[in-house]
Amino acid sequence: MRNEVLRMAEKTQIFISSRQKMIIDRLLESDFPIMPKDMAEELDISLRTCQREIAQLKPIVRSYGLKIMKQFRSGICLVGDEECKGVLAEELVKAHQSTSFSPKDRQLGIICDLLRDQTPTKMFVFSQKYHVTEATIGHDLQELEGWLNQFHLTLVRKPGLGIFISGEDKQLRAAITAMVNNQTLPENWLAVFDLLKSGKKEDWQIEKHIPSMYLDLLDLDILHAVGKVLTEAAERHPSLFSNERDRISVSLHLALAVERHKDNNNDHVVADRKLIELYPSSYFIAERLKELLDIQLPEEEINYLILHLYGVQPNLPLEQFQEEETTHLIRIFIEGVKAELNEPLTDPMLSEGLLKHFYPALNRIRNGLPIHNPLLSQIQRDYPDVYEASRKSAESLSNYLGVTIPPAEIAYMAIHVGAALINQQNLKGRVAVVCASGFGTSRLLASRLKQEIPGLQVSEVLSLSELPGWLENNWKVDAIVSTIQIPGITEERLVVVSPILSDNDVQKIKGKLKKQQSSTQRPRLDDHPSENSSLRGIAHYGEAFAQVMRGLSWMEAIPTKEKLAWLHAFVARSHAVISPEGLIEAFEERERKGSFAIGSIGILHSRTAAVRTLFVNIISLKEAMPWHTENGKKQVVDTLLLLAAPPDAPREHFPLLGELISGLLDDELAGAISSGNKEWALIAVREHFQQAYQERILSYARGKQR
């Protein structure tokens, strides 16, 4: 088959645009259909343009024994023999391309060109390369200046000489690392590391995962060596990296540092023995790189590596950052914001929230390490007053520290300030929803309630243990809807229902509401902001979002008959887990109260001290296993979704986990999680959490406008 296709390929030269090449690459790398609308958004083109490009590609792929097929409600996919796909992928590398770039791709290309080569480049060089006028290139450069400024880099334009970036080497490396991190996925870098490990360094293979413009910023041989050394270091010190994203970030930083020093002679370097004792992994990494590449990192680079490791592993000791100093800075910041807004900030939790967030961030700010906030522009747009007050107050911190607080960090601090302002209002609700843990079946139930009874306000979702304390200050609720019997709650107020919420359950709740409201007339709560709109909730929600993004993982397993004990080896891999045995015991305890499944996905959830942060783990089962649902029915599941949270986590952390459970009502998300495809599952879950976070912010914005 391969030889036949090669003979056909020899007779056919491919002439395609760069955009068409991206479409074929996307189809080749995907194991699942892709919606043309999603592909159009990725390419930054209209749906009609995308459909036109796809139509032009059909005869080209047909000459390689392949077809672009459309599947109803699923999208398009490339169908044919795998060998034919391999030949097409190889031929694409040699294809004659008529280049066309979207404005975004053009600007990314220009910034990569400038970061890769700091020597002056004439404007006409960019004009010819990207097939646009010099005026368009000039406009692109204006757009790029703001991005460079956040790294304290300057875009220099000298007539007769050209354009180049000016700044310290450390800032240039920070910009390169940020560029690569922001435009690529960790899963793609893992694939690249696997290729390098197996000796496959052909451009066409690697560029299937990472575009060449980003690869050109790095030396792949050095990156391979760095990846190998960090893997060895992680095996020696399992807690060094909490997830693959952090390991990749450090890999990119270290590869750039090694490349910078590969021609320097640093044999005179003498290691600081105190630092060797405190950070043995850093010196292990430096010594192994010296053995592999014959490169000696200077002491300043080893110190910088320590800071990077501290940034991804905050519990490492670093004496220079003291809580007293951070507390002083937070006090200065709050006073400045109060003066700018002319508003009191009486919420006692504001200082605590800012301290917890700013303490580790201070390390990154002082040492020029990048801070990323995917919602920066949205926060600036939706909360301009709070953001601007935070920005002005942060200037005093910048003066004290001698470095500029970046906009991404200011946006995080602005969320905490806005939360405090909203939290000072008196918020009430109508219905409390209760289950054993507070984020399992109750979150699914809350979602179904909103679907079935649109006028119902869910005041809070609670665990059984939280309910008594909550009722002391929130006793004016129309009903308590629960998946379990609650001792001490009268039948007049309690409605026990199935987590799936049957039609009969809906009628019971409606009847209870009518009875309560006819006997007691209360003022309507619609005109008041709900607790769901509280920006404090968004702040804690954001912390939960960050924890989940850092710790989310996917694994494959073959279940055994030993109940849940076989999970020990899998949960033990997570940095979030303190005690694997304790976590499994907590899951088993929860299961004794009733099993829980949605479709083919079995769900294990618990609130337990066996985890230090939010824990989300997807386990794809190679063999289906029996499962009992909450109503006693038997079924089989092919995927397990493991969720856990520490008992002292902020109350707002639990809705995020609940969003994932309620999201399983969506066939698309449930299908991705149970697909058995790691990349598809992780991308779908990350996008679902991102959307939930954005909707929480929009919910607050709508409440604010009423």
The pLDDT-based confidence of 46 (bands split at 50, 70, 90) is confident
Lowest mean pLDDT among 147-161, 365-379, 562-576: 365-379
Model confidence at 21: pLDDT above 80: yes
Express each pLDDT in 324-374 by its tens digit: 677 888 889 999 999 998 887 877 678 877 877 776 677 667 766 667 665
Spatial separation of the C-alpha atoms in residues 85 and 68, rounded to whole Å: 12
Express each pLDDT in 576-623 by its tens digit: 899 999 999 988 887 777 677 888 888 888 888 999 889 999 999 988
Model confidence at 267: pLDDT above 50: no
Lowest mean pLDDT among 31-45, 87-101, 260-274, 594-608: 260-274
Contact status, residue 345 vs residue 381, Cβ threshold 8 Å = no
Q: Which of 70, 98, 126 is the last residue of a domain?
A: 98
**Are both 400 and 387 inside the same structural domain?**
yes
Express each pLDDT in 202-229 by its tens digit: 666 777 778 777 778 888 888 888 888 8
> In terms of C-beta distances under 8 Å and separation of at least 24 residues, what long-range contacts does 697-700 make, across chains too?
697/375, 697/378, 697/379, 697/382, 697/538, 698/382, 699/532, 699/533, 700/422, 700/533, 700/534, 700/535, 700/538
**Are both 572 and 495 inside the same structural domain?**
no
Q: Which of 423, 443, 462 is the last residue of a domain?
A: 423
Helix pair 384-401, 349-366: axis angle to 10 deg: 50
Rounded mean pLDDT, 262-291: 63
Model confidence at 90: pLDDT above 90: no
Amino acid at 249: S
The pLDDT-based confidence of 166 (bands split at 50, 70, 90) is very high
Express each pLDDT in 54-66 by its tens digit: 888 888 888 888 8
User: Which pLDDT score, from 0 to 100, does residue 659 have?
Assistant: 79
Say how many domains are in the chain. 6
Contact status, residue 6 vs residue 86, Cβ threshold 8 Å = no
**Are both 131 and 93 inside the same structural domain?**
no
Run of H or E including 672 = helix 667-673
Spatial separation of the C-alpha atoms in residues 478 and 513, rounded to whole Å: 6
**Are both 512 and 546 inside the same structural domain?**
no
Rounded mean pLDDT, 271-298: 71
Amino acid at 105: D
From first CA to last CA, the distance across the chain in angstroms is 66
The pLDDT-based confidence of 554 (bands split at 50, 70, 90) is very high
**Are both 445 and 419 inside the same structural domain?**
no
User: Which pLDDT score, from 0 to 100, does residue 432 have?
Assistant: 84
The pLDDT-based confidence of 314 (bands split at 50, 70, 90) is very low
User: Which pLDDT score, from 0 to 100, does residue 428 have?
Assistant: 36
User: Which pLDDT score, from 0 to 100, does residue 433 have?
Assistant: 87
Model confidence at 313: pLDDT above 80: no
User: Which pLDDT score, from 0 to 100, does residue 390 have?
Assistant: 94
The pLDDT-based confidence of 110 (bands split at 50, 70, 90) is very high
User: Which pLDDT score, from 0 to 100, does residue 524 have?
Assistant: 38
Spatial separation of the C-alpha atoms in residues 375 and 694, rounded to whole Å: 8
Place of tokens 């990472």: 210
In-domain check, residue 317: no
Model confidence at 528: pLDDT above 50: no
**Are both 666 and 584 inside the same structural domain?**
yes
- For the chain, the maximum distance between any two Cα atoms, rounded to a whole number of angstroms, is 86
User: Which pLDDT score, from 0 to 100, does residue 155 have?
Assistant: 93
Which of 606, 575, 574 is CA-nearest to residue 592? 606
DSSP for 617-632, written as a single string? EEEEEEEEEEEE-TTS
Highest mean pLDDT among 170-174, 329-333, 501-505, 524-528: 329-333
Q: Specify the CATH number for the domain of residue 441.
A: 3.40.50
**Residue 638 main-chain phi, psi, to 5 deg:** -115, 0
Q: Specify the CATH number for the domain of residue 64.
A: 1.10.10.10
Decide: helix, strand or coil at residue 588: helix
Contact status, residue 326 vs residue 333, Cβ threshold 8 Å = no
Q: Which of 76, 98, 120 is the last residue of a domain?
A: 98
Average pLDDT, the chain: 77
User: Which pLDDT score, from 0 to 100, does residue 278 have?
Assistant: 56
- Domain containing 129 equals 103-167
Distances from the Cα of 467 to the Cα of 63, 322, 427, 472, 677, angstroms: 66, 38, 17, 9, 39
Highest mean pLDDT among 184-188, 233-237, 437-441, 616-620: 616-620
User: Which pLDDT score, from 0 to 100, does residue 370 have?
Assistant: 66
The pLDDT-based confidence of 322 (bands split at 50, 70, 90) is low
Contact status, residue 207 vs residue 215, Cβ threshold 8 Å = yes
Highest mean pLDDT among 300-304, 569-573, 611-615: 611-615
**Are both 419 and 440 inside the same structural domain?**
no
In-domain check, residue 67: yes
